[in-house]
Amino acid sequence: MNRRMMMTLCKKVYLLIFCLFVLTGCWDRVEVNDLAFVTATGIDKIEENKFRAAVQVPLPGNMGGAGSSGGGGGSGGESPFYVDSGVGRNIRESNDDLQQRMSRKLYFSHRRVIIFGADMAKAGFKKSLEVIIEQPQSRLSAYVLIAKGKAIEVLNATPHFEPFSSETIREMAKSSFGITVKDVLNDVEKPGKDPVIPIVETAKTQNGDGEDKNDEVMVNGAAILKDDKLKFFANDEEALGAFWLLEESPEKNYTFSVGDNKEINVSIDEKNLRHTYSVLGGVPSFSLTLDVEAAVMQNEADIDMDNLDSYELAIDSMEKKIKKEIDALLDHSTSEGIDVYGFGWHLYRHDNRQWEEKWADNWSSTLKKMEIDVQVNATIQETTNPGITIKE
């Protein structure tokens, strides 16, 4: 064997030895069966410096196959999900306590819902939310909700249309004014803007036989916060005011009374909210104008929408009710120094010099003195029932 062939052989041997080190396979692999896929997290405050972190984990073996019927259970009637919780002095310690009892590693990449219990929300949850999103698999697109009671009770609910409550909550949050982790953190950090977060709670199914059925989940209403702390739950009228004020609100049906307490139900197809402001005596004042386009779904009042007087009566009734709802929310929130709309954020961006000099340090007290005028312009473009002509 000549020298050239020896060199070639040595190179091949060295290459093979090198490959042994770099092509070692998946020694640190993590199998799917080693992971517990978390779909929702619930955080509750038990007492001072004591927190409960609960997770909901699907159980694929109980979710049934092609022959399963409906959600809420597997083919054998067992729950398709598992809820467990850990307790600690902070969220990480609570998760560590939970992990010690689980044979699989908690995996948060599939989490779509984060729920804070009422007591936790009242104490302030910004730090807890920041800790949650520091987990490598966490998503900023996960929906944030506040429970009227304990978050773990919501996770334990057994819905019928979906296999686990986290999926039900996610779908309902999308059809409500869905607020994500990113939205909440942005609102908390914005000068002159406070978060508004959807409320989630359990509710019994109602089939008319008078018996208590399984707990379903319901996303309804609005929680009003100052910075990251819950201040109050909006009542029904105020919650509708939140619907009109929030930019990302979806289409919905809306009912109002006309004449002798007869109702008209309309579908809100479009809405556009704009504002102007002025400053008098060092105090800003805002004018809000809301344009609403709707279509009649049910004309219980039998109003003839082709008759100008009847049409104007219906429009006037609708506009007054919407204005009353917006005023109710703004009156309550501003009286507590809470800026749900973001008046201060607008001033910070468009009149920054005056904001920094006059309002930044005492915005809560300025809100209480600020005049806010609300105008509503409604139109109903089509009807399903020609109705009759009525007089005011």
**Selected residue with higher pLDDT from 155 and 389:** 155
Please report, rounded to a whole number, the percentage of residues in the chain having pLDDT higher than 90.
50
Please report, rounded to a whole number, the percentage of residues in the chain having pLDDT higher than 70.
86
Work out the number of other CB atoms within 10 angstroms of the CB of residue 382: 10
| Ranges 32-41, 69-78, 179-188, 366-375: which has the least confidence | 69-78
Distances (CA, A) of 19 to 5, 8, 29, 227, 330: 21, 17, 19, 57, 69
Asked if pLDDT for residue 52 goes beyond 50, the answer is: yes
Query: What would the pLDDT profile of 250-269 be if each residue is shown by its tens digit?
Result: 578 899 998 777 899 999 98
Q: What would the two tokens of residue 265 be?
A: 């139900």
Looking at residue 76, its pLDDT comes to 39
Query: What would the pLDDT profile of 194-233 be if each residue is shown by its tens digit?
Result: 999 999 998 877 766 656 566 788 888 899 999 899 999 9
Looking at residue 80, its pLDDT comes to 83
Q: Which residue has the tokens 């009286």?
A: 335
| Ranges 12-21, 112-121, 257-266, 294-303: which has the least confidence | 12-21
Asked if pLDDT for residue 244 goes beyond 80, the answer is: yes
Asked if pLDDT for residue 336 goes beyond 90, the answer is: yes
Beta bridge partners of 58: 81
- Cβ(296)–Cβ(269) below 8 Å: no
**Selected residue with higher pLDDT from 238 and 63:** 238
Task: Give, as one character, the DSSP assignment of residue 161.
Answer: S
Looking at residue 391, its pLDDT comes to 53
Report residue 73's pLDDT band, with 50, 70 and 90 as the boundaries: very low
- With residues binned 3-state (H G I as helix, E B as strand, rest as coil), the percentages for the chain, rounded to 5, are 35, 30, 35
Residues 234, 225: Cα–Cα separation, whole Å: 10
Looking at residue 390, its pLDDT comes to 52
**Selected residue with higher pLDDT from 11 and 193:** 193
Looking at residue 36, its pLDDT comes to 87
Strands 143-147, 81-88: pairing is: unpaired
Looking at residue 18, its pLDDT comes to 77
Count of residues for the chain? 392
Looking at residue 13, its pLDDT comes to 78
In the predicted model, what is the mean pLDDT of the chain? 85
What are the chain's domains? 33-233 (no CATH), 235-392 (3.30.300.210)
